[in-house]
Amino acid sequence: MAIYKAPLRDMRFVLHEMLDIERHLAGLDGCEDATAETIDAVLAEAARICEEVVLPTNASGDEAGCTLEDGAVRTPPGFAAAYHTLREGGWFSLGCDPAYGGQGLPHTLAVFFEEILQSSNLAFSLYPGLTRGAYMALHHHASDALKAAWMPRLVSGEWSAVMCLTEPHCGTDLGLLRTRAERADDGTYRISGTKIFITGGDQDMTDNIVHLVLARLTDAPAGTRGISMFLVPKFLLDASGEPGERNSLGVGSIEKKMGIKGASTCVMNYEGATGWLVGEENRGLNAMFSMMNHERLMVGQQGLALGEVAYQSAAAYARERLQGRSLGGAKSPEQAADPIIVHPDVRRMLLTARAYNEGARALFGWVSLQVDRMERHPDPAVREAAGDLVALLTPVVKAIFTDNGSEACNLCLQVLGGHGYIREWGMEQLVRDARIAQIYEGANGIHALDLVGRKLQLHGGRLLDRYLQECREFLTSVRDRDDAREFVDPLAEALVRLEEASAWLRGATARDPEEIGAASYDYMRLLALVAFGHMWARAAIVALDARNGDNSGFYESKIHTARFFVRRLLPQTASLLATLRAGADTLMDMPAEAF
């Protein structure tokens, strides 16, 4: 079974020592109660309840999976009880609006709870995670009447919600969708069509399920300009606001999947189901993106969450597994062999996973703080600047965190060798569960295109300029720190490469639009390495200042991991710059029939 203890010490390091979270939150509307003591207490209790209640359902949930019985989905044993425990404790309402029963706590705190939940059981975490995304869409776009009817019990977790986009013939290209919506005389709509890959489309943990369905009105324009969003519940509400008559929708089947088997992935059929318009007609994508932007950050965090479990499990194994002798001479001569932690290649794999995980946690905390500033800061200029940074880095978080998470899980399985391939150790489940995060909420290549083809062009390049300025200001602030040069100088060199890549892209794509697609992934990876390097340099400086008198070894370990990152991973920026400059012809000149 995989090993996991919530990394509370590292979370406190990111929140309090790197981000100085309490000072930043003090100026944000509604965050006055988010003191350091409150944040630490919430995360400590989150760790306890997730480790005791949710984590035990992970391996058994993977083994049992979901089942479809007489048109109803049954989640694995233990899921419903765990869900009810978290719901009764108010865990699903942490970052939600108090007007609808939420606790109003900062987004930054809520997402650190979500990491712990995802690590404990990723499949289980998808049910409340999707509800939180739907809450975002309804909060920003639904009418007051819809909010009053549906939001309080979505916030409490009594009801859940799902997003319904994909159809059998279309995924990313939503302009092709065929699900129909017809206006009814009573102001509602009748929804007909089939959606696939609907995570949580049906389950047995909540009394009702809200489906946010993208559909096309009969007189809508073609393409994405003709898409509307509708709230389509499993059960219609009666006069008292309670679930009553079953709506005209049902589960056609559930998918048999590679991983996340405890999450019900449904084919949903809508046969004239009653729905209510969310937002404006033909503006459904605008509403859906409020949900999808949250979900993309959440999915990125899944890569970190599983990478953390993989690292903890592999590090524990490497400290105990005896195999061979150290190349420098026996380290444990009293034993028949040395533990494999002495071998450089084992350390390479473990340090790669650790550098990815801790760098991602710091970057995710920083981005989450920008979300709070974007939503709550009283100064419009600050909100705009924070929004630019979130928009720029969302595709990076989604794609690179999940790529790194999958790599970390594979590396850590390799540390266990043959035992990693055997189910009882829990590592192969992590590899299977992690793989989907690179695909859903938009395949990672799509996010690279979004970054290079859209985000870099927005507002005349303002988004990237803001981030480059953040990095330059940091470098300026520490230029006199001789003790930090080993961390700062490599970041400065990588930043130059990012600027060179950005300038090259502007010229190349003006000559040939194919260059956007050919260079997009390499560019996104380069930007991500700079962003990780920025976080690792900041972390190293904090650790350098705090290590004296620390007997725990925490800060020394942080410095060692930062050194590994800047010397062994950050130099990849040089090869990525060379690769994207290779040009589109290396990919596009081969005829399609030659593949």
What residues are annotated to the active site? Answer: 441
Per the DSSP assignment, residues forming a β-bridge with 237 are 243
Left if phi > 0, otherwise alpha if psi is -120 to 50, otherwise beta: which for 221?
beta
CB 34 within 8 A of CB 109: yes
Hey, how many other C-beta atoms are within 10 angstroms of the C-beta on 578? Answer: 12
Please, where are the H alpha helices in 377-458?
380-416, 427-435, 444-450
Which helix (H) or strand (E) is 335 found in, with range? none
Name the residue with tokens 């300009």: 225
3-state SS, residue 111: helix
**Residue 285 phi/psi, 5° resolution?**
-65, -35
Angle, nearest 10°, between helix axes 107-120 and 344-376? 140
- Measured CA angle at 300 (ends 263, 150), to 5 deg: 55
Round to whole Å and give the CA distance between 566 and 443.
28
CB 102 within 8 A of CB 95: yes
Inter-CA distances, 152 with 21, 133, 183, 323, Å: 29, 15, 27, 56
For residue 481 the two structure tokens come to 């720190």
Buried residues in 276-288 as b, exposed as e (16+ CB within 10 A):
bbbbebbbbbebb
The answer for residues whose C-beta is within 8 angstroms of residue 508's C-beta and 6 or more apart is 515, 519, 583
At 582 the three-state DSSP class reads coil
Q: Residue 438 and residue 539: Cα distance in Å, rounded?
A: 27
C-beta neighbour count of 222 within 10 angstroms: 9
Per DSSP bridges, beta strands 159-164 and 208-217 are parallel
Q: Which residues make beta-bridge pairs with 246?
A: 235
Tokens of 445: 């290549």
Whole-number Cα distances in Å, 558 to 6, 438, 547: 17, 28, 10
Specify whether the CB–CB gap between 305 and 121 falls below 8 A.
no
What's the token pair of residue 541?
A: 């400086």
Cβ atoms 405, 434 nearer than 8 A:
yes
Contacts of 318 (CB under 8 A, 6+ apart): 339, 340, 341, 346, 350, 415
**Mapping DSSP to helix (H, G, I), strand (E, B) and coil, where does residue 376 land?**
helix
Q: Do 447 and 520 meet the contact criterion of CB atoms below 8 Å apart?
A: no
- Residue 15's Cβ-side half-sphere holds a number of Cα atoms within 13 Å equal to 24
